[in-house]
Structure 1
Amino acid sequence: MLYRNAWVTTHTIDDETVIDIAASGRCRWKIENENNNVLKNYGYYFDHNFGCGQQHLANLMATLVLLAYLLYTTLDWVDTYYRTVRGLLPSRRIFFEHLRALAVFSSRRHWGHLMRFMVKGLNGTIPGTG
């Protein structure tokens, strides 16, 4: 069976470049689908309903959701405490429930204090600190 598909690219496709271009396209498709899946199904509620707002409300809400996703993705890369707390809890929803309760009933000075408090409360350890 011959594989058939359509590609949109500005690169010249020939016998030498077709394999690399196809691999790049598949990689991009995988990344986009995984991110869209997280935005839709794992706590961000990013769905088609963002197209029904008054004037610019839908765009504003979609932008805020994407900014939240960017923030928490960046935190996962750079904040060891955040990554540890997220790993100790079973789901993102549970993490946000804990975070919401602590934000209401606790007066932590900054994010680092809050994350250290959560790690300690969950009996976790930070990698590299013993």
Structure 2
Amino acid sequence: MKYKLIKSMAHNWTHSFMSGMNYVDNDFVFEDMYQLARDRRGEKVTVTWIPNRPEELFGLTPRVRESLKYYRKALSEHLVRHQIDPEAISEMRTEVYVAENHRMYVRSYVLDNRGKEHVQFVWA
């Protein structure tokens, strides 16, 4: 496995989750994520993919939680497609927040099993 592939894999995953293709219950999931970020005034809205953190679900909308069910099922296949060994990832998450400049940011974050962080802005 090549560790350099982790960054693009995480970017693609977050891009898909926050895209217009993620449509659940007659609306886009990214709209809910953006609204949550606006409501939290600078605090990050975080979806942790690895490890699974069920306590995060309480702060998300029903639409986002429904989407997460499908995305969590597809994650292992996504890793295989990108030739990433699941054991190489200690933590993987998507973060959405409004910065001090009032812009919306979407960021992918991965911590690999060597302790290296792979961070990439997906929407900025």
TM-score, normalising length: structure 1 = 0.27
Work out which of the two has the higher radius of gyration on C-alpha atoms and give 1 or 2: 1
Give the TM-score normalised by the residue count of structure 2.
Answer: 0.27
Structure with greater contact order relative to length (CA < 8 Å, sep ≥ 6): 2
Say which structure is richer in strand: 2
Normalized per residue, which structure has more helix? 1
